[in-house]
Structure 1
Amino acid sequence: MIARGRLDIRFSKLFKAVGTVARTAAGLSKASPCFPEQSLPCLSVRTGFDLLLSALKLERGTEILVTNINIPDMFAIMAEHGLKVIPLAVDKHTLGISVDQLKDAITPKTKLLLITHLFGAVMSTEPLLQVAKANRLIVIEDCAQAYDGVYQGNLQSDVAMFSFGLIKTNTALTGALLHFNNQTLFTEVSALNRQLPVQPTKIYFKKILNATLIKSFTQRLPFQWAYTLCKYLNKDFDAWLSGFTRGFPGAALMRKIRHQPCNANLSMLHYKYSQDISSQIQQRKALAAQLLQGLNEHYLVGTANAQHTHWVLPINVSEPVSLVEKLRGAGFDATSKASSLVRFKSENPSLGIQNELALENLIYLPMDITMGKNKAKQLNQLLLAFLPNPQGF
């Protein structure tokens, strides 16, 4: 079975990371690597976001305008800081938020705008930044799903946050890099980060072992065995798999994220950030084009986005359960539960839009750039056969 995704790291790099951990344990670790000017390495995007809100010292009840789709932890961090969340709907074609929504949502209590780029796509930010800066809003770009080695955030944004977490593009197993265009904010956030305890190296070592295990069983034959065993034991395969990939599982989120990365983590993060991944991104775009070729526009998500790298590949269908079963039966691990994204519901119906992205009917197709042209064509043909109004391969 072709897995829904594979960790973006080589076995050789995982083995090298074990050596870095061993040198650290023996007191032989090198000095921390140097990152670009006004860039701050953090344990996670969650950590960086928490530090940003701490540095801003906003009054409770301050309004933050946000892309209405994100992971629950990000909304939990906003609640921890007493912010009132004002969600802005995402257009399913552009994967962006509209200027009109933004203008209508701004009040005297609005101080922040959080722009979240979804599924590997970068929304158009220039018109949003013009409105935000005219209203003196702090602008934060959440690029956790959008790292492509090129985009560094809009230069008018105060900060852009990039994730190198376990399932992300160019993973460092955990970690994030924040790029600042606001010198004052960079200084204050850096100072707060230095006050955090360093995460024990043994935790990063466990992440290396976990990643090695995941990378091993997401090979085609072991993955098929795992799926078959879960089905035989009547276990939820998606729940079992997600247990290996959660960044901060369980309770006590704030305690877990409030650490600095250890030296071994910093070394991996620096190496990964320095890599050229342009070839991989192009392969991913080509695979997405193959898999979606001929599908009716109704099923597609993000087709009007000009900067899409297809970190994941969702399609919108009316019968997600049936399609997932059909594709898995043919050896393709499609899923409707691959993402932990949630939609924050608005109290103001006027902020909705006509083509709003809904999560309920999305399924995620396997995005394995090693699957080969024949398998890609087979998956495409299965989709065309199942979904109405096919246009041909």
Structure 2
Amino acid sequence: MWARKRIDIGWTDLWFGFRKTYCKVDRTIAAQDAESAFTPRDRSLACLSVRSGFDLLLTGLRMPAGSEVLVSAVTILDMVRIIESHDLIAVPIDIDPSTMQLDLGTLQNAIKPQTRAILVAHLFGAILDLSEICSIAQRNDLLLIEDCAQCFDGNRYTGHPGSDVVMFSFGPIKTSTALAGALLVVRDQTLLKRMKSTHQTWPIQPQAEFRVRVRTYSLLKLASGRRTFAILVWILRWLGKNRDETLNGAVRNFPADQFFTRRRRQPCNALLQLMKHRIDRFDASRQDRRSRLGRMLADGIGLSDRDDNMRVPSAATQYHTWWVFPLCCDERHQLIEQLRYSGFDATAVSQMQAVPSIVGNLADSPVTAQRLVDSMCFLPLYPEMSEQAISQMIKIVDQHAKTRNQPFQADSPLE
């Protein structure tokens, strides 16, 4: 069975990270090396996660209470939680489903005297053209923040030149993962100094904790092979365990009640070194293969223009790394059942949510975002997959489109 996701890290990289937890190194040098990996060091900050960096950013900005941040209507709700923790208001801006770009008319109408910033999320590996959004931000004196957690592409994309802050993630399921960590590129030197000053007051993540993390994700990597994953699925079924709950629980970082205390820490030296190591050894050919497979799958499905009940969000974006492959389908659970039966571990479980609208705000309610989230599932896609596997998924989706109102018969395997 093709697992829903494979951890994008090699065994030698895992050994490098594990070994570094026992090594002593000057912390200042480790941080500087990580921060200068693909952008000038005097513009970067290495931190524990994008959530940690975003928290530092809002602390450094010192926006008045009640200020509004315009956000992509589909995002990780933890980002909204951080905004609200600073007594700010997150205002969702609906999106164009074909590109996942912000709706420019809604964005313009949402700008008020209390608006201070725009937070744009590049979703699913699609890298948006921010030229018009950048012009809107500059005309209205707004800070433009790019959330690039899902679209790392080495030094081939380091953010739009007009953005004020760009955030990259190296979390466990991200491209070129270091199992944690993030890099923020900050244009304003004064703001960056304030962020670093606050960061230095946070406790440092223990090396031993990161060592355990490396061991845990080594086991998860081992379990993601086709045969081992099939055995794992069989064991979970035999034990009566829910597959989605078990797999997502295995990669959950911290309990909800420790959201801020565990994120308000500095990365340990081993993590800083592993981030530098992973960025330096970014494999562009591997990324390009995933992009080709993603485009092959999107073009093969090709349903967005002829079937309103099924679409591939972000498929119209020209610059796409296909970090994950989303598919919106009115009968998604039936499609997932068909895919799993045929050896593809599709899932509807995701941290991506529609941001709730703000009562009394004139911005349109994010109806499109909510509709997408309610119908979205994710198909396996990574460089190890064969073109034959991609073609098989295309056939399954096509057959589902033709027979979606009929109950799935598990004794009639798809070919």
TM interval, shorter chain, is: over 0.9
Structure-1 residue corresponding to 2:409: none
Once the 2 structures are TM-superposed, how far is the Cα of residue 336 of structure 1 from its aligned partner? Answer: 0.7
**Counterpart secondary structure, 1:192:** helix
Once the 2 structures are TM-superposed, how far is the Cα of residue 328 of structure 1 from its aligned partner? Answer: 0.6
> In 2 relative to 1, CA 103–29 (structure 1 residues): closer, same or farther, beyond 3 Å?
closer
Once the 2 structures are TM-superposed, how far is the Cα of residue 389 of structure 1 from its aligned partner? Answer: 9.6
- The C-alpha deviation readout for 1:130-186, integer Å capped at 9, x for no partner, is 111111111111111111112111121111000000000000000000011222211
Tell me if 1:222 matches 2:233: no
**Counterpart secondary structure, 1:388:** helix
Once the 2 structures are TM-superposed, how far is the Cα of residue 28 of structure 1 from its aligned partner? Answer: 9.3
Tell me if 1:332 matches 2:347: no
Within the candidate set 234, 249, 253, 1:243 is matched to 249
- Structure 1 residues 183-332: aligned runs within 5 Å: 183-292=189-298, 293-297=300-304, 298=307, 299-332=311-344
Tell me if 1:146 matches 2:140: no
Tell me if 1:385 matches 2:396: no
Within the candidate set 86, 89, 93, 1:88 is matched to 93
Letter in 2 for 1:247: N
Structure-1 residue corresponding to 2:408: none
Once the 2 structures are TM-superposed, how far is the Cα of residue 187 of structure 1 from its aligned partner? Answer: 1.6
Tell me if 1:106 matches 2:118: no
Structure-2 residue corresponding to 1:18: 18
Distance 1:89 1:143 in 2: 18
Letter in 1 for 2:19: G
**Counterpart secondary structure, 1:316:** strand
Distance 1:222 1:114 in 2: 40
**Counterpart secondary structure, 1:311:** coil
Q: What percentage of residue pairs aligned between the two structures are identical?
A: 33
Once the 2 structures are TM-superposed, how far is the Cα of residue 72 of structure 1 from its aligned partner? Answer: 2.2
Structure-2 residue corresponding to 1:54: 59
**Counterpart secondary structure, 1:251:** helix
Distance 2:301 2:81 in 1: 40
Structure-2 residue corresponding to 1:177: 183
**Counterpart secondary structure, 2:372:** coil
Distance 1:370 1:49 in 2: 33
The alignment's TM-score, normalised by the length of structure 1, stands at 0.94
Once the 2 structures are TM-superposed, how far is the Cα of residue 358 of structure 1 from its aligned partner? Answer: 1.6
246-255 or 84-93: bigger deviation: 246-255
Once the 2 structures are TM-superposed, how far is the Cα of residue 362 of structure 1 from its aligned partner? Answer: 0.9
Letter in 2 for 1:4: R
Once the 2 structures are TM-superposed, how far is the Cα of residue 329 of structure 1 from its aligned partner? Answer: 0.8
**Counterpart secondary structure, 1:139:** strand
Once the 2 structures are TM-superposed, how far is the Cα of residue 352 of structure 1 from its aligned partner? Answer: 4.5
Once the 2 structures are TM-superposed, how far is the Cα of residue 95 of structure 1 from its aligned partner? Answer: 0.9
Letter in 1 for 2:351: S
> In 2 relative to 1, CA 290–346 (structure 1 residues): closer, same or farther, beyond 3 Å?
same
Structure-1 residue corresponding to 2:376: 362
Distance 1:354 1:214 in 2: 37
Once the 2 structures are TM-superposed, how far is the Cα of residue 31 of structure 1 from its aligned partner? Answer: 4.2
Contact 2:101–2:128 (Cα < 8 Å) also in 1: yes
Contact 1:2–1:368 (Cα < 8 Å) also in 2: no
Within the candidate set 115, 118, 123, 1:118 is matched to 123
Distance 2:26 2:123 in 1: 40
123-132 or 41-50: bigger deviation: 123-132
260-269 or 242-251: bigger deviation: 242-251
RMSD: 2.0
**Counterpart secondary structure, 1:363:** strand
Structure 1 unaligned residues grouped into runs of 5+: none
**Counterpart secondary structure, 1:213:** helix
Within the candidate set 343, 346, 359, 2:357 is matched to 346
Q: How many residues align?
A: 387
**Counterpart secondary structure, 2:167:** strand
- The C-alpha deviation readout for 1:365-387, integer Å capped at 9, x for no partner, is 00132121222222221111111
Structure-2 residue corresponding to 1:133: 138
> In 2 relative to 1, CA 68–30 (structure 1 residues): closer, same or farther, beyond 3 Å?
closer
